[in-house]
Amino acid sequence: MHFRLPLILYLSATALTSAAAIKRDTPKILADYSDLNTKIATFKGLVDKFNSIFDGIPIPAAATNMQNAVKTLTTDMTAAGPFSQADSTQVTTATSVLEVACINTLQSVENKVCALHLKSFSASSRH
């Protein structure tokens, strides 16, 4: 949870600073946030159901999809000038939703790693 403040500060700074004075395409950016949230949810779902090697097969592709969505969002966020106040509020809200999704997904990964270690330890202690 220590990354929450730096993430918010980074995304806020990115949203508020730019050399150009052109209005950003806020609907596109909000769509990028939505796309990233969808990709995070897909990744989290795959992690949550991971119990065997076969369950893990789609995880790398889902991680790549998340990475590509982050790149798209970053490109669109830095493409032009500052947001209006109303747009800034929408983007801040979208950032907060994204933050929660990231925290929940990281927690799922941590829980799954712990569960797999316990399962592995339990199996090895039977021998």
- What's the confidence (pLDDT) of residue 125? 63
Q: Which residue do the tokens 């509020």 mark?
A: 89
**Helix then strand then coil, % of the chain, to nearest 5:** 75, 0, 25
How distant, in Å, are the alpha carbons of 46, 84, 116 from that of 108?
10, 36, 12
Residues of the chain short of pLDDT 50, as ranges, are 1, 18-22
- What's the confidence (pLDDT) of residue 80? 66
- What's the confidence (pLDDT) of residue 79? 82
Report the distance separating Cα 69 and Cα 38, nearest Å.
10
* pTM score: 0.74
Task: Tell me if 102 sits within 8 A of 43, measured CB to CB.
Answer: no
Report the distance separating Cα 14 and Cα 4, nearest Å.
15
For residue 120, what are the domain limits? 4-125
CA angle, 33 then 39 then 43, to 5°: 140
Report the distance separating Cα 21 and Cα 104, nearest Å.
36
- What's the confidence (pLDDT) of residue 23? 56
Task: State the total domains in the chain.
Answer: 1
- What's the confidence (pLDDT) of residue 120? 67
